């Protein structure tokens, strides 16, 4: 990621946290970031896009961390959950700016951001669910989604006291405490005939409800930016970026020509030249397409 872009994002995080999105002007952001207004619009097409970038910045960090924990085979499921809780506590305590933004919940008028946050929440809760399943075994099965949400809800409540009353969080103690409460709940549920409340499959069937064109475009942009930032600036990088632009242009049309998009996708894959990061991103972006 470009240096200036990062500066801008960090300034935005600080300001969106202190005040909020609407009460922070682009001028405020560029002043704090020490860049010009022109430069801002060189990196972001709009203030809204910055907001999206800010969220991506954080969520990506969290998602990566959760994936790392999960693939760490030296941890037990219980340890993984505790670890994840502690991680979230650290984030909140270490980055109040963003946190206070995050606590503002789904407030951001912007639909893309709303969807991103909902997606991210769901991802996190599904992650929790996986660990819970592994921890308590198949007996918890139908309740695993409820449990993940109960745990999530309990955790957030403590965050509230940290933000609002500055009540300190001892993340290790809190993680253990909540894990114990999870145990109480899990064994309580398993020992009594209980009907679950939520079913993950009902809420997010097949893990991905129909994406809107808008969110797809946002993702396409972020893939493009990722390619730009994460490849050596060679000829093929440039070509890939241009190809992504062409795809975005096409997708923006009322009736995009699917054959162009498919063709360009194919071309991009060939340009990727086996680079697994790029291929993964592209695959994720295009697989849901119809």
Residue 206 CA to residue 264 CA, distance in Å, equals 27
Q: Is 22 exposed, middle or buried (0-12, 13-18, 19+ CB in 10 A)?
A: exposed
List the interface residues with its own copies, window 194-223 (CB under 8 A): 194-195, 197-198, 202-204
Secondary structure of residue 231 in the 3-state scheme? coil
Determine if 154 is a binding residue for its own copies (CB under 8 A).
yes
Interface with its own copies (CB under 8 A), residue from 45, 67, 167, 213: 167
For DNA, the binding residues (CB under 7 A) are 2, 4, 23-27, 35-43, 45-48
Residue 258 CA to residue 249 CA, distance in Å, equals 12
Report the Cα–Cα distance between both ends of the chain, in Å, rounded: 31
Determine if 94 is a binding residue for its own copies (CB under 8 A).
no
Interface with its own copies (CB under 8 A), residue from 36, 67, 72, 160: 160
Residue 117 CA to residue 286 CA, distance in Å, equals 21
Beta carbon nearer to DNA, 48 or 119: 48
Q: With CB under 8 A, what is the number of residues at the site for its own copies? A: 64
List the interface residues with its own copies, window 40-69 (CB under 8 A): none
Residue 238 CA to residue 272 CA, distance in Å, equals 12
Interface with its own copies (CB under 8 A), residue from 75, 217, 260, 279: 260
246 binds, among DNA, its own copies, none (CB under 5 to 8 A by kind): its own copies
46 binds, among DNA, its own copies, none (CB under 5 to 8 A by kind): DNA
* Nearest Cα to Cα of residue 162 among 171, 152, 153, 149: 171
Residue 221 CA to residue 230 CA, distance in Å, equals 14
Residue 87 CA to residue 89 CA, distance in Å, equals 5
Binding residues vs its own copies (CB under 8 A): 19-20, 22-23, 103-109, 118, 121, 149-150, 152-158, 160-161, 163-165, 167, 173-174, 177, 180-181, 183-185, 187-189, 192, 194-195, 197-198, 202-204, 239, 242-243, 245-246, 249-250, 257, 259-260, 262-264, 266-268, 270
């Amino acid at each position: 990621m470009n240096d200036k872009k990062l500066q801008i994002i960090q300034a935005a995080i600080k300001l969106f946290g202190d005040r909020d999105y609407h009460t922070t002007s682009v001028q405020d952001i560029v002043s704090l970031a020490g860049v010009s207004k022109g430069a801002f619009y060189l990196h972001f097409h709009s203030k809204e896009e910055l907001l999206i970038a800010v969220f991506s910045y954080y969520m990506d960090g969290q998602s990566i961390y959760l994936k790392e924990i999960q693939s760490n085979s030296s941890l037990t499921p219980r340890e993984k959950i505790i670890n994840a809780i502690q991680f979230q506590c650290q984030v909140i305590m270490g980055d109040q700016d963003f946190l206070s933004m995050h606590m503002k919940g789904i407030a951001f008028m912007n639909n893309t951001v709303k969807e991103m946050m909902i997606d991210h929440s769901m991802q996190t809760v599904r992650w929790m669910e996986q660990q819970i399943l592994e921890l308590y075994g198949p007996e918890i099965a139908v309740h695993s989604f409820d449990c993940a949400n109960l745990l999530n809800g309990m955790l957030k409540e403590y965050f509230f006291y940290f933000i609002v009353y500055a009540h300190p969080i001892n993340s290790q103690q809190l993680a253990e405490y909540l894990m114990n409460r999870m145990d109480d709940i899990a064994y309580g549920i398993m020992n009594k005939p209980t009907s679950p409340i939520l079913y993950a499959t009902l809420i997010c069937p097949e893990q991905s409800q129909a994406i809107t064109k808008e969110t797809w475009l946002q993702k396409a942009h972020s893939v493009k930016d990722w390619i730009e930032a994460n490849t050596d600036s060679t000829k093929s990088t440039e070509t890939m970026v241009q190809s992504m632009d062409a795809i975005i242009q096409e997708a923006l049309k009322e009736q995009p020509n699917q054959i162009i998009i498919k063709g360009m996708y194919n071309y991009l894959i060939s340009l990727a030249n086996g680079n697994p990061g790029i291929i993964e991103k592209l695959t994720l972006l295009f697989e849901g397409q119809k």
